[in-house]
Each structure stands twice: as structure tokens, then as C-alpha cells.
Amino acid sequence: AQKVTQAQTEISVVEKEDVTLDCVYETRDTTYYLFWYKQPPSGELVFLIRRNSFDEQNEISGRYSWNFQKSTSSFNFTITASQVVDSAVYFCALSAISNFGNEKLTFGTGTRLTIIP
Amino acid sequence: DVKVTQSSRYLVKRTGEKVFLECVQDMDHENMFWYRQDPGLGLRLIYFSYDVKMKEKGDIPEGYSVSREKKERFSLILESASTNQTSMYLCASSDREEGNQPQHFGDGTRLSIL
């Protein structure tokens, strides 16, 4: 069975601080995908990143960066120089790789991030 | 851009009513999904569909059914609504052809059962 743990339920930081959201996963599969989604107050989940288990390179996109460590089963997300617009609930998710294109996602419980102006 | 549209943002119904939640996507995606989101529980998969008239149970299908008569439309049905089905419901779609693609979500329907 797959499991995703986001131990941080809520985080508050002052604007311009850096913040890291933790994600730990469990799976018996040797190949899988990891995802991060953002849910702003409007409610719609917005896709941020997808990472294949074969690719352990860290990724940076503007103020966002992701640290994938297979040895610790973690896929952490860092926001640098946080802004008020980053306030949202962030979800980490895991899927097994399927040849049929019918993979399902297992979501963590989410981390509510509040950026204080 | 992919557009997933859920018919209602807010819905209030009474216990015992039959409730329909509608979802339409405009990207010709084969895969469609229904989740419910509750505080502290994250998103839990109710049902999903890989193609027209196809459906598979997710993790919490009890009390729900679905219908997929057309590729673009996926309906979630609460046969006899109960108060423990008060929740946020999210629909999503993804491209099956390329596999393992991100799911695209609608804005959600906040359903209250009184």
C-alpha cells in the first residue's frame, strides 16, 4: 500500500523568509511518480511539479525548489523569499507507474502555509 | 489550458435526497476522478473512470455511484444523502494516452447535507 505523510499541518512564516514543506512517502514499487499541488483559498488544486523516481536531481523553478531523496523517501518543497501569494494548502502526492495510463494518486493530508505580511 | 468545470461551487441538500454532482472537462481526457476533501484527511478517491461507461471504485466508494455516458462528463451521485457526506468534492481529469500525467482539478463543490 502507498502512503504519503505531511507531518506539518500548519506553518506560518513572515514574508520574505524561506520555508520548507516536508513530504515522506512509502511505496513497495521500484518506480513511481511524485507530485506537488497548491490549493489557494479559491479551492482549485494547481499542479506544481512531477518527478520520476529515476530522476533524483533537485529542481528549481523561480523561488520554488524541490529536494528528492530516495534514500530517505522524501520529496521536500522549499519556497525562497516567501510572498503573501504563496499562502495556500500544499499537497504532496504519489502514484505508481502504470503502462495503461490509469494510475491513481495517493495524497498526503496537506500543509497549510500562511505568509504573514 | 485544461478546463475542468464543476456545476456548482456550493450546494445544500437534505438527508435522504438524491444528489448529482456534475463535472465536465474540455481536453478530451480519458481519465476522470472524483475525490472528497476533509480537514485533516487530505484528498480521498471516491471513484474514477478510464473511459466512457467504465468506472472503478476508489478508496471510499460507499454511499456513492458514478456515471460516465460521454467522454467529457463524469457525474457523482449520492443515492441517499447523509450528513456524513458533507464535504468538499473535487473532480479531476488526466490524459491517459501519455500516461502518468498530472491530474487537472476543478474548483470544487462544497456540499452541505442538512
Nearest to A9 by CA among A68, A91, A76, A103: A91
Q: For residue A97, what is the nearest residue in chain B, using CA coordinates?
A: B100
DSSP letter for B101, please: P
Averaged over B32-39, what is the pLDDT?
94
User: In the predicted model, is pLDDT for residue A29 greater than 90?
Assistant: no
User: Of B43, B50, B108, which has the smallest distance from its Cβ to A102's Cβ?
Assistant: B50
| B89 CB within 8 Å of a chain A CB | no
Please identify among residues 48-87 of chain A the ones whose CB lies closer than 8 Å to any CB of chain B: 50
Q: Which amino acid is at B17?
A: E
pLDDT score at A53: 87
Q: A8-23, pLDDT tens digit by residue? A: 999 999 999 999 999 9
User: In the predicted model, is pLDDT for residue B63 greater than 70?
Assistant: yes
Instruction: Calculate ∠ Cα A42-A43-A49, nearest 5°.
Output: 110
| B1 CB within 8 Å of a chain A CB | no
What value does the CA radius of gyration of chain A take, rounded to a whole number of Å? 14
Say whether B88 and A43 touch across the interface (CB within 8 A).
Answer: yes
Please identify among residues 37-66 of chain B the ones whose CB lies closer than 8 Å to any CB of chain A: 40-45, 48, 50, 58
Extended beta strands in chain B, E state: 4-6, 10-13, 19-25, 31-38, 42-49, 56-57, 64-70, 73-78, 87-94, 104-105, 109-113
User: In the predicted model, is pLDDT for residue A98 greater than 70?
Assistant: no
